[in-house]
Chains A and B, each alone.
Chain A
Amino acid sequence: MTRIFLSILLMLLVTGCATTKVKDYEKFNAAKPRSILIVPVVNRSVEVTAPDYFLSTISVPLAERGYYVFPVNLVKRMLEDDGLSDSGLVHNASVEKLTNLFGADAVLYVTINQWDAQYLVFTTQVNVDLSYVIKDGKTGDTLWEHNQKMVYSPQQNSGGHPLAQLIVAVVNAAIAKAAPNYVPLAQQANNQTFTYPGPGIPPGPYAQ
């Protein structure tokens, strides 16, 4: 009985220590941005197509948090016209310049630090490491930042003959390696990042 009690106590102590760090929303709440400009993603991974796939998934979670989100394709085109076709240049440009150009309250910068597919015969694991930063358009101060690391394996159907399932798994893994489908992974990473309460941002003016 004592042993059970001690093990429960130990579990409580361990889980108690594992609380996640609460973000400081003081600056964010003071700035109260209504609109967020999403600029092209900086890619530090070897996947050439990852930034564009990622960019096509980022608007939805922010809009769902209640913010006006600028149209990403149009923004990209406007930046190109302004000589900022390279995402590195955009990230290094002054925040004030960007927000004046588009009339935005804040800017979201995303960097893909890692995005690689590991082929493990029966499955392909995609490892991602993303950095998100929201900066204030008026002061350039960082209002919120988050680092998201994830491991993703494409889902496989279960059931049927075990050997056939193995063959399916191998084929699926090979396909995932050859032509990885980035969209579900990017959506998953964004949903986790913008969850609130959690690591995400407080509700915006259009939140329901």
Chain B
Amino acid sequence: VDPVPVNIRSKTTIQQLQVGKPKFKKWVNKLLVVAKEVIESGESAGNVPPGIYAEYGYVLYEKGNFTEAILYFNKEQTKWSESKVLMAKMISNANKIAAQKEKRNEPTSDKIVPSTEVTK
């Protein structure tokens, strides 16, 4: 997958997705498709490469789909113990943002599932 388009790469935020930047949306969707393909072929062969679950989870996170994002962050840290610190942070962040949105009654793409791996 090509890198994030240069003119918008410094502001890769959820807000950007919501306000709608066509190039960024296109990039996110492309990354989503490619990462999913790699995960599926990796799972059938029994060797998902390092960082792929996390990248996929990150794209879901950017899209506001926190439940699924957490699921993939958990998969990454189960498969690769080296990712535990980073994944715990991401799960914590996902839970925090989702809780804030819920408090403000803003719609999220999904409901939140509490994780046991949340950092303090």
Binding site for B on A (CB under 8 A): 34-35, 48-49, 52-53, 55-56, 59, 63, 67-78, 80, 85, 102-105, 206
**Which chain B positions have C-beta within 8 A of A48?**
6
- Are B10 and A63 neighbours in the complex by a CB distance under 8 Å? no
Count B interface residues, CB 8 Å.
24
Nearest-neighbour CB distance to chain B for A81, whole angstroms, equals 9
- Are A103 and B55 neighbours in the complex by a CB distance under 8 Å? no
- Are B51 and A53 neighbours in the complex by a CB distance under 8 Å? no
Contact of A85 among B10, B31, B58 (CB under 8 A): B10
**Which chain A positions have C-beta within 8 A of B3?**
49, 52-53, 55-56
Binding site for A on B (CB under 8 A): 1-4, 6, 9-10, 12, 31, 49-52, 54-55, 58, 80, 82-86, 89-90
* A-B contact list, 30 entries, CB within 8 Å: A48-B6, A49-B3, A52-B3, A52-B4, A53-B2, A53-B3, A55-B3, A56-B2, A59-B51, A63-B50, A68-B50, A68-B83, A69-B51, A70-B83, A71-B52, A71-B54, A71-B58, A73-B31, A73-B55, A73-B58, A74-B58, A75-B86, A77-B12, A77-B58, A78-B89, A80-B12, A103-B82, A103-B83, A103-B86, A206-B50
- Are A74 and B82 neighbours in the complex by a CB distance under 8 Å? no
Contact of A78 among B4, B52, B86 (CB under 8 A): B86
**Which chain A positions have C-beta within 8 A of B83?**
35, 68, 70, 103
Chain B residue with the shortest CB-CB distance to A75: B86
A119 to B2, CA, bound (A): 24
- Are A71 and B85 neighbours in the complex by a CB distance under 8 Å? no
Nearest-neighbour CB distance to chain A for B105, whole angstroms, equals 25
Chain A residue with the shortest CB-CB distance to B84: A103
10 shortest interchain CB distances as A-B pairs: A103-B85, A52-B3, A35-B82, A71-B51, A68-B82, A71-B54, A74-B58, A71-B55, A68-B50, A102-B86
**Which chain A positions have C-beta within 8 A of B50?**
59, 63, 67-69, 206
A59 to B54, CA, bound (A): 13
**Which chain B positions have C-beta within 8 A of A69?**
50-51
**Which chain A positions have C-beta within 8 A of B10?**
80, 85
**Which chain B positions have C-beta within 8 A of A63?**
49-51
**Which chain B positions have C-beta within 8 A of A76?**
12
**Which chain B positions have C-beta within 8 A of A206?**
50
- Are A74 and B12 neighbours in the complex by a CB distance under 8 Å? no
Chain A residue with the shortest CB-CB distance to B56: A71
Contact of A52 among B6, B51, B52, B82 (CB under 8 A): B6
